[in-house]
Amino acid sequence: MPKASIVIPTLNEEKNMNALLRQINLKEYEVIIVDGHSTDKTVEIAKKFGIKVLYDDKGKGSALRKGMNASAEEIVITMDADLSHRISELGLLVEAINSGYDICMGSRFILGGGTDDMPLHRKIGNKLFVFLVNSIWRANYSDLCYGYRSFRRDIIKKLNLESDGFGIETEISIKSAKQKLKIIEIPSFEKKRMHGTAKLHSLRDGWEILKRIMKEVRV
């Protein structure tokens, strides 16, 4: 039986796909690619590996929601396609859920974590958002906008996620705190994107995250 389902949103990641899928033990993990209608060979490469491919063109959040809802295993992991996440950390994400946690969140800002792919202005923005969320919901997060996470599958429906874009991780963190779920952070090291162009835009997506925080305050 697979250990977990891994959901990976993609958009024109053909230069990363071969290396990424070769690193994942496909006998141990169900992999679901949710593609934003790539114009390169991303989907073709995924299908050569026998990967389940879904389509969604609304944004990262919408893609993750669709993939998580389509997962077959009791543990669901979300990760990026750009080779920035270390495959060696998959076992930690699985073990945390098997140990009784509802959600396990990778963190770049606790002992053992780090990042090679975060300019100063994004670090400042992330710290500000972490401060706001921790202050408002009495949480204890060290990282907020990082997508390497694992979930008990039944928790996903309880979160009732709705974000279509890059606010999805913030929404997950806030709703998890609101529902007092059992959460653990593990150290994670973020490498530089291997190939291609990052999809995140600091001002646009930072504003989206702030809007999500403000919306959750009102709910």
Phi, psi of 161 (to 5 degrees): -70, 150
Q: What is the pLDDT of residues 48-105, one digit of tens each?
A: 999 999 999 999 999 999 999 999 999 999 999 999 999 999 999 999 999 999 999 9
- Specify the amino acid at residue 126: N
Domain count, the chain: 1
Q: How far is it, in rounded angstroms, from Cα 19 to Cα 161?
A: 31
Domain of residue 182, residue span: 4-218
Q: What is the pLDDT of residues 103-156, one digit of tens each?
A: 999 999 999 999 987 778 888 888 999 999 999 999 999 999 899 999 999 999
Question: Dihedral sign, CA of 216, 186, 29, 74?
Answer: negative
pTM above 0.85, yes or no: yes
pLDDT at 203: 66
Domain of 60, CATH number, reads: 3.90.550.10
The SS3 call for residue 122 is: helix
Which among 48, 35, 47 is positioned nearest to 9, based on CA atoms?
A: 35
